[in-house]
Structure 1
């Protein structure tokens, strides 16, 4: 039986900053930030048709704007719902993909609470939080991927920890019953060494931080991913791409071979920040 060639996949994750009527110091309104942000997404997915885009803090009007701008070039679709009602209210954590490349097999939203099937919050969370999950099949090679995207709570450490546990239970279910490669993108509001990061990357977890899997010679850009809108803001690394089922773990089916990692600037020469977060770009191959 002839082995398939490696399949390059690119994953972007970015907190776009919700459209507010009360911008922070240094923050432009969404109408000003929009072209900077959507062009960033378009350019960084231009040369990899198998790209996925994970976004956070996306209000309904923003998801419509981004979808429109992406489809000015090619046919993209997305999965995800507003977290407040499971429809259009509140922030989305969507996953965008090209319909000519990937077939969506199924998708779901999991609320990160004690009642994960309906809009809800627990553990002193400041906001309702969700996990978006999609199972995709590559049209040309029939390889499957599980894509996940989330945005953990900024107010409650307990919520971040318990949410990470729920996410891991979803990931382990995918591994145990399907043997599929998984990626998880998102804003974790947790730095390396803090609760959610340690849970996701712990000894009992099948996940690993992509940055730590890629040699320094194949990395580019900043270390921190949160910038705020001013130079005075304390920068933090809180946005991540995690890979499950990396090559060295073995097992059935395709596995990941990490090939690149970057954190790209979000401030332009005219002083505009396209968001208070930088985009994290991960390159990998299905082997």
Structure 2
């Protein structure tokens, strides 16, 4: 088995109207959180192209993959980073949360195009993790306006993610031969909502509910100065073979004494079984 730490973080897009909470004031705080907690996998949401460049520059220990949701790699992205000293990206891709998922598009009355980025992660050659588990991580950001879009996006992920995990030839129906799956992101809905239920009824488990140890606030939204209560909309969901050791909502503040984003990052400590274990 392999112990894997996965962090999901909506970092808030670079909005010039944010004034003292503009990206250039927050980016060191965002990347300090990642460098301090040193997750094996980090998944970001709301990342514009200039922010991707900043993250690559400041998080050079990570291999970062993912594209923007607009044609030409523009617009917000949901990039995934893996620690290059332990892991390698075997394959990756992005699809759109719409009826036409293989092309830039918006669907189901969504206010914006929405995407999911995925990566098949394997142990890095020559590392101590080399005999560990390979797994699929998917990262997404559901629409904030359309309730229908959130439900349909969950249904699309429920049908598409298992096939991506089993692309090595395993039978989708054979969970013992399918690599473990970790789905993270800002779902813009709380536990118990219909989109969340679609995913958990489909076989994934909410890591916060399954965790042996639970830490941190029961919300994941901030106004930079304080917490917005009872709004845990940032999630980590895992397939049945994944053992959830701990789940935390990280309330780290930056050196200004403010939260580095209008979301708190969530961190899941997981144990993943290798196929055939």
Using structure 2 for the length normalisation, give the TM-score.
0.88
Shift of 1:101: 2.0
Partners in 2 of 1:263 and 1:187 — Cα distance? 13
Corresponding residue for residue 209 of structure 1: 206
Q: Indicate which of 8, 13, 16 corresponds to 1:18.
A: 13
Deviation readout 1:211-265 (Å, 9 max, x if unpaired):
11113xx22111111123354845511000000133xxxxxxxxx2211111011
> Is the CA contact (8 Å cut-off) linking 1:209 and 1:241 kept in structure 2?
yes
Instruction: Give yes or no for contact 2:29–2:253 (8 Å, CA) kept in 1.
Output: no
User: 112, 119, 125: which one pairs with 1:127?
Assistant: 112
Q: Return the offset for 1:142.
A: 5.5
- SS of the residue corresponding to residue 92 of structure 2 reads strand
User: 1:200: which partner in 2?
Assistant: 199
Bigger shift: 273-282 or 135-144?
135-144
1:1-287 counterparts in 2 under 5 A? Answer: 6-23=1-18, 28-45=21-38, 51-71=40-60, 74=61, 76-85=62-71, 87-139=72-124, 140-141=130-131, 143-173=133-163, 174=165, 176-177=171-172, 179-202=178-201, 205-215=202-212, 218-231=213-226, 233=228, 235-246=230-241, 256-268=242-254, 270-287=256-273
Contact 2:117 2:140 in 1 (8 A): yes
Distance in 2 (CA, whole Å) between partners of 1:103 and 1:268 is 30
Residue 107 of structure 1: SS of its match in structure 2?
strand
Segments of structure 1 that go 5 or more residues without pairing to the other structure are 1-5, 247-255
TM-score (norm 1): 0.85
For 1:61-109, what per-residue CA distance to the aligned partner results, in whole angstroms no more than 9, with x for missing partners?
Answer: 11111111111xx3x2111100012x43110101001233222221111
Retained in 2: the 8 A contact 1:53–1:97?
A: yes
Contact residue 77 and residue 98 of structure 1 kept, 8 A: yes
Q: What residue number does 2:127 align with?
A: none
Judge conservation of contact 2:222–2:259 (CA < 8 Å) in 1. Answer: no
Q: Report if aligned partners of 2:6, 2:42 keep a CA contact under 8 Å in 1.
A: yes
Residues in 2 aligned to 1:278 and 1:237: alpha-carbon distance in whole angstroms = 9
Q: Secondary structure at the match of 1:38?
A: helix
Q: Is the 8 A contact 1:131 1:148 kept in 2?
A: yes
SS in structure 1 opposite 2:75? coil
Kindly report the root-mean-square deviation, in angstroms, between the aligned alpha carbons of the 2 structures. Answer: 1.8
Which structure 2 segments of 5+ residues have no match? 125-129
